[in-house]
Amino acid sequence: MTAALAELLDVTRAFPGDPEVQALKDVSLTINDGDYLSIVGPSGSGKSTMLNILGLLDRPSVGQYRLAGHVTADLGDHQQAALRARAIGFIFQAFHLLPHRSVLDNVLLAMLYSGVPRQERVPRALAALERVGLGHRLHFLPTTLSGGERQRVAIARAVVSGPRLLLADEPTGNLDQATSGEVMALFEELNRGGLALVVITHDDAIARRAARRVRILDGRLSEQA
């Protein structure tokens, strides 16, 4: 039996206070290679907390997170950072591109800590930008691009190092409906190529595109039929 790519096992994430706040409560979730999963829920439901744990940006208070065969609690901070750089790509609503660096530079910078050999970086960045339809925008600054083009740069940056898992946090939140459809079609093309895709969204229309749908409410998870 093939091991899961990512697995949350009875995970609780609590934040100190009076009273203590449990952002996630006894959550279990399995993500396999090639999965396409949407996570929906209202603001404050625990979506971002779960994304942070899946992305190795935070640790569970209770329970276990396994990623790519590793029990992440056994890894130090540097080991977790190296695993995150190799295994995970991130897409955010606000793009998070460096405004004064070119499109090509933004994608190249993503490979600094991913273990990609130096001589492979430019060819891989060029191939990633061609794949998202931006081979003609290499030397443009992000500030001169449309919202859809900036998100495509962000996608190229996220996938250039060859991750197995792509985490997208409200990836269409700043886009109009037509551009949102184009971006989601690009995500789905990447997923058909074998990349596991997790999309966090408040938009039911976006969520329904996924093969699996999970709803989170008050920190508790339920998978939808």
What pLDDT score was predicted for residue 2?
A: 59
Are residues 6 and 66 in contact, defined by beta-carbon separation less than 8 angstroms?
Answer: yes
Q: State the residue for tokens 């609690």.
A: 73
Pairing of strands 62-67, 6-15: antiparallel
- Which strands make up the sheet holding 165-169, listed edge to edge? 88-92, 165-169, 196-201, 36-40, 212-217, 220-224
| Largest Cα span, the chain | 54
Dig out the tokens for 58 from the structure. Answer: 């935070």
Per-residue pLDDT of the chain (225 residues; tens, 9 = 90+): 457 999 999 999 999 988 889 999 999 999 999 999 999 988 888 998 999 999 999 999 999 999 999 999 999 999 999 999 999 999 988 889 999 999 999 999 999 878 889 999 999 999 999 999 999 999 999 999 999 999 999 999 999 999 999 999 999 888 888 999 999 999 999 999 999 999 999 888 899 999 999 999 999 999 876
Residue spans of the domains in the chain: they are: 34-45+81-224
SS (H, E, C) 172-217: CCCCCHHHHHHHHHHHHHHHHCCCEEEEEECCHHHHCCCCEEEEEE
Q: Domain 34-45+81-224, what fold?
A: Rossmann fold (3.40.50)
